[in-house]
Chain A
Amino acid sequence: MKNENLIIYLDYQDILTFCSGHLLYKEAYAYEWENENVIHIHLSKKCHQFGQMYPALFAIDNKKTMQDKQFRFHVFIEKILPEPSVSVFVDGVQSDFYYIPDRNSLFSRNKGLLEKDVLKSKKAMIIGLGSFGAQIAVELAKAGVGKFSLFDFDRIELHNLARHIATVNDLGRLKTDVVEDAILGKNPYALVDKFPIDIDKNEELLSSEVGKSDIVICATDNNSSRLNLSKELVKKNKVGIFGRAVTRAAGGDVFRYRPGGACYACLIGHGIISKEEISSVQAGRLSGAIPAYTSDEDAQAVVQVGLAADISPICNMMIKLALLELSKGTESGIQTLEDDLVYDCYIWANRREYNFKNWHVFYQSGADRTIMRWYGVKVHKLDGCPVCSTDIILDTGQKGEYHDPENSDYEGLALV
């Protein structure tokens, strides 16, 4: 008799791992989603499972081990070439099962659009694992990117939950651990390096990881880290994607650094970007965006975060640019985007507020600037840029020009 009402998943990689050894049996882990009749059985303990965990057993010999009532879940494996023969028993009754797909079938739906063999060898470095960085990491994992280097010293707090991929079960955990789990949940074959540290205090590590990466995503919340990273990108000739939201996520911008082009310091120097979103009092105080003389009460008022739906389009552009850069030189289905996404900086408005208050209403806006459309900006290298220019020109205060980021509405910019 077969147990047909259970949905059981086995990790094929586990079967191969067990077969490659000389063990007769090995204790494993079964996760049962109670009342859902769903069971996943793994050789190794999974840290991000929500089902009830039970001991399981992988074994060669089914006669002796079946008598061991300690295990409800038995996986019997016969080492037959070319493929092992596997059977699963739950409470002594044989059950049908599926395999968690191997690497090749995991991203089969991307076929024709993304080159999975290329992406699996690419390494994405993501700095800042807040609502931007975490979402981007998961999307890149879904696309088949195979290696990650994650940087964030922060932990998940209650105020993160509204926009972050983390759940209530992740409260208090390091963001690097949470995002690693999320990546492995999408691509169990991904290789993830975690660095729960402040990049501003670790030049050598930052430099070495930038050097090893194929793309660098900067999703931090302050210019100091963006500028530090910018220096390393210039030094190591690497592509970097920077993204952020402005106050209350009324909009945002995405900047792409390409070797030889304008860097993030050029962008700041041109006065193109506007006042950014402060996502928490702690982050604002740390960066200096909330001055020390601001009372806690006033500081709370300064923290005006936007909706998850408002930051998603900005993340989406960062992901597209990252995939485009990672797929360069391959016959990918997204190649045509190379002719479209030619700008250095992209600006997006969610609502006609703050810096976008003078923009046209969406209805019948024609060619006027309005919400929910991307505008591209060519950013020229800044004369005398202290990061990417050989001849630095310092601001000594002689010019008398002052750009007020609070009131910038991108006036005078050639937004295309």
Chain B
Amino acid sequence: MKLLRIFLRRFIMIDYKRYKLEKEVFQKEKLPEAAYRFIGIGTDNPYLRIAARTNSGKIYTLHIELSSFPESIPEVYVTKMLKDSNGKNMSGASAQMHTLTSSGGWTRICHYGYNSWTPMVSLFKIYVKCRLWLEAYEAHLKTGNTIDTYLVHQS
């Protein structure tokens, strides 16, 4: 049984080397150290919490799952349930709003296309794409236009 348990352990995708590199990119791009935190590195539940300030000055916290990163596209959530311009929860998967099915009461952002994904994509790039999504989201709140108006779909 012990052997079976060892065999059935989940992958721990993000290794220490990659974690260090990702941190170096954040430093190079001058992201304040207080704005992000890697949690659970070396465990089977690693994730990144990172704050994103939009042009309007609002701050959102992004939760990026790293358990299958970088081999798979990481799941990205805004750590609350966002409302659309009609006051409805953004909990469902929507092509127009670039969202996927929410989890744990958090809105999930669709940030990368399956066919475009490569394991070279940095967490910084994902962060930038999600920042753009947040800008588009705020524009949606102001105008009622769908997020699709501002962002193109990726293959």
Taking a contact as CB atoms closer than 8 A, the residue among B25, B92, B115 that contacts A275 in the complex is B115
Taking a contact as CB atoms closer than 8 A, the residue among B9, B99, B114, B125 that contacts A202 in the complex is B9
Residues in B neighbouring A268, C-beta threshold 8 A: 118-119
Taking a contact as CB atoms under 8 Å apart, the answer to whether A395 and B117 are in contact is: no
Contact pattern, A 377-416, Cβ under 8 Å of B = 1, otherwise 0:
0000010111100001111110000111110000000000
Given A396-B125, A397-B124, are A227 and B93 also a contact pair (CB < 8 Å)? no
Taking a contact as CB atoms closer than 8 A, the residue among B11, B12, B117, B155 that contacts A223 in the complex is B117
Taking a contact as CB atoms under 8 Å apart, the answer to whether A397 and B125 are in contact is: yes
Taking a contact as CB atoms under 8 Å apart, the answer to whether A265 and B114 are in contact is: no
Contact pattern, A 191-205, Cβ under 8 Å of B = 1, otherwise 0:
000000100111111
Taking a contact as CB atoms under 8 Å apart, the answer to whether A202 and B93 are in contact is: no
Kindly state the separation between the CA atoms of A228 and B18 in the bound complex, as whole angstroms: 15
**Considering only CB atoms and an 8 Å cut-off, how many residues of chain A contact the other chain?**
40
Secondary structure call for the A interface: loop
Interface residue? B122 (CB, 8 A): yes
Residues in B neighbouring A223, C-beta threshold 8 A: 71-72, 114, 117
Taking a contact as CB atoms under 8 Å apart, the answer to whether B18 and A397 are in contact is: no
Contact pattern, A 285-310, Cβ under 8 Å of B = 1, otherwise 0:
00111011110000000000000000
Taking a contact as CB atoms under 8 Å apart, the answer to whether B155 and A293 are in contact is: no
Given A202-B9, A396-B25, A404-B155, are A293 and B93 also a contact pair (CB < 8 Å)? yes
Query: What bracket does the count of chain B residues touching chain A fall in?
Result: 35 or more
Kindly state the separation between the CA atoms of A287 and B68 in the bound complex, as whole angstroms: 12
Taking a contact as CB atoms under 8 Å apart, the answer to whether A405 and B17 are in contact is: no
Residues in B neighbouring A382, C-beta threshold 8 A: 120
Taking a contact as CB atoms under 8 Å apart, the answer to whether A293 and B29 are in contact is: no
Q: In the complex, what's the smallest C-beta–C-beta distance from B90 to chain A, in angstroms?
A: 12
Interface residue? A211 (CB, 8 A): no
Given A394-B22, A396-B124, are A291 and B71 also a contact pair (CB < 8 Å)? no
Interface residue? A261 (CB, 8 A): no
Q: In the complex, what's the smallest C-beta–C-beta distance from A184 to chain B, in angstroms?
A: 25
Taking a contact as CB atoms under 8 Å apart, the answer to whether A395 and B122 are in contact is: yes
Residues in A neighbouring B99, C-beta threshold 8 A: 293
Taking a contact as CB atoms closer than 8 A, the residue among B6, B22, B101, B120 that contacts A269 in the complex is B120
Pair count A-B, CB < 8 A: 111
Taking a contact as CB atoms under 8 Å apart, the answer to whether B71 and A224 are in contact is: yes
Taking a contact as CB atoms under 8 Å apart, the answer to whether A293 and B115 are in contact is: no
Interface residue? A276 (CB, 8 A): yes
Taking a contact as CB atoms under 8 Å apart, the answer to whether A394 and B25 are in contact is: yes
Residues in B neighbouring A405, C-beta threshold 8 A: 115-116, 155
Interface residue? B59 (CB, 8 A): no
Taking a contact as CB atoms closer than 8 A, the residue among A201, A204, A275 that contacts B155 in the complex is A275
Kindly state the separation between the CA atoms of A201 and B9 in the bound complex, as whole angstroms: 7
Taking a contact as CB atoms under 8 Å apart, the answer to whether B94 and A293 are in contact is: yes
Q: Which residue of B lies closest to A208 (CB)?
A: B7
Interface residue? B110 (CB, 8 A): yes
Residues in A neighbouring B151, C-beta threshold 8 A: none
Q: In the complex, what's the smallest C-beta–C-beta distance from A115 to chain B, in angstroms?
A: 34
Taking a contact as CB atoms closer than 8 A, the residue among A204, A387, A392 that contacts B6 in the complex is A204
Q: In the complex, what's the smallest C-beta–C-beta distance from B112 to chain A, in angstroms?
A: 9
Taking a contact as CB atoms under 8 Å apart, the answer to whether A392 and B8 are in contact is: no
Max chain B CB contacts within 10 Å: which of A287, A384, A386, A392? A386
Taking a contact as CB atoms under 8 Å apart, the answer to whether B18 and A386 are in contact is: yes
Taking a contact as CB atoms under 8 Å apart, the answer to whether B29 and A406 are in contact is: no
28 contacts between A and B (CB under 8 A): A197-B8, A201-B10, A205-B7, A205-B8, A231-B71, A268-B118, A269-B120, A287-B114, A288-B73, A291-B110, A292-B93, A293-B93, A293-B94, A293-B100, A294-B93, A294-B95, A382-B120, A387-B119, A392-B17, A393-B120, A394-B22, A394-B120, A395-B121, A397-B124, A397-B129, A402-B116, A405-B116, A406-B155
8 tightest A-B contacts by CB? A293-B93, A292-B93, A394-B122, A397-B125, A405-B115, A227-B71, A224-B72, A395-B120
With A204-B9, A289-B115, A294-B93 given, can you name 6 additional A-B contacts, CB distance below 8 Å? A224-B71, A227-B119, A293-B99, A386-B120, A396-B25, A405-B155
